[in-house]
Chain A
Amino acid sequence: MTSPNPGPSGQSSANGPQPRPTGEAVEAVQRALAAEHAAEWSYGLAAVLVAKEMEKTASTDLAAHRTRREATERMLRDAGATPVPPQPAYQPPKPVTDAASATELLVTAETDTAGAWRAVLERTDDQGLRQFALDALTSAAVRATRWRRAGRQSPLTVPFPGQPG
């Protein structure tokens, strides 16, 4: 936890009302936070392996996840919940040993993140939280597209980012 808790009257989101998770949305936001933790861990692992020309993208993307994670933790604390901590380590679906497998891991991390935030959209009526989750879903989908391109995957996009199944 690198950021202090600004409390309910603290830093507001860039646009729209403050996200306020309640009820089943809290658990969905916790799952999204867990996905953000996993994404940060993945970027940490992949950063030293991705192709030279993608290093800057990787560090920008990691920073975006960190910012999102910190805002998510603040939101949960403001709602009276205890943010879930990161796991000590995660199990990538495949061994990560080179640029190709590192890129694939990042696509997986972004896909997981998109799915978790889309699930939040369906579990809240709070407009601030909907906006927050939509921004998170959209940016994860765009980053996934970029990493698919870097990994020469095809297709570069899916028709319904974040949709389960």
Chain B
Amino acid sequence: MTLEPSRPGPLPRRRFLLAGVLAMAAAPLAAACTSTPPPPPGPDPLEPLAARARADAALARAVAESVPGAGQDLVQAATAVAASRKAHAEALDQEIQRARPVTGSSAPSSSSGVPTAPPTAAEAKAALVEALTAAEQEARALVTTAPRHRAGLLGSVTASCASLREVLA
């Protein structure tokens, strides 16, 4: 599903828009990640992002399941937020684990309680927008200084949160 130049042109190497090229380019990068330098001491800067993603997923699930008067649009949007934020939490956890396999035992403390859904659809929507805005800012703040192999993930999380706000708009 990508656009290609309609003619090979004089530079056949430069068929830029083939997803396969990007995928192949990413593969050695992923392999290289295993030999990245040891992480600095202290908590992993991704931990607050993972915790926030889990909390957002729980909030969104609660909205989708139990807000009275939530229309179909809000239920669908909240379901999308829940699924994406859960995927973010898992990817962030995975990267945290990869960087520090030894401290794995202290990793995801998943149960911070089930959040109470806001009482009205309008408040639920506002709460989701607020959560996504904070999540986007938090991820965005790390993108410019993160190691390369994390910059892509953080960029995608940032872009996803912005897209989910668009769904709620």
Contact = CB atoms under 8 A, between A and B. Distances in A.
Interface string B119-160: 000000000000000000000100111001101110111111
A102 interface: no
A163 interface: yes
Contacts of A93: 1-3
A159 B84 contact: yes
A162 B9 contact: no
Interface string B1-41: 11111110100001011010111011001000000000000
Contact of B160 (A127, A134, A159): A159
A35 B22 CA distance: 12
B87 interface: yes
B164 interface: yes
B88 to A, nearest CB: 7
Contacts of B164: 157
A136 to B, nearest CB: 10
B5 A90 contact: yes
Interface SS of chain A: helix
Interface of B: 1-7, 9, 14, 16-17, 19, 21-23, 25-26, 29, 80, 83-84, 87-88, 91, 140, 143-145, 148-149, 151-153, 155-160, 162-164, 166-167
A84 B3 contact: no
Interface stretch (A5-13, A58-66, A72-80, A118-126): A118-126
A144 B1 contact: no
A69 interface: no
A121 B152 contact: yes
Contacts, number: 159
Contacts of B156: 118, 137, 159-163
- Closest A-B pairs by Cβ, 9 of them: A34-B16, A87-B5, A141-B159, A159-B87, A160-B156, A161-B159, A164-B23, A159-B84, A121-B151
Contacts of A48: none
B89 to A, nearest CB: 10
Given A157-B164, A157-B167, A164-B23, A130 B5 contact: no
Interface in A95-147: 105, 108-109, 111-112, 114-119, 121-125, 127, 130-131, 133-134, 137-138, 140-142, 144-146
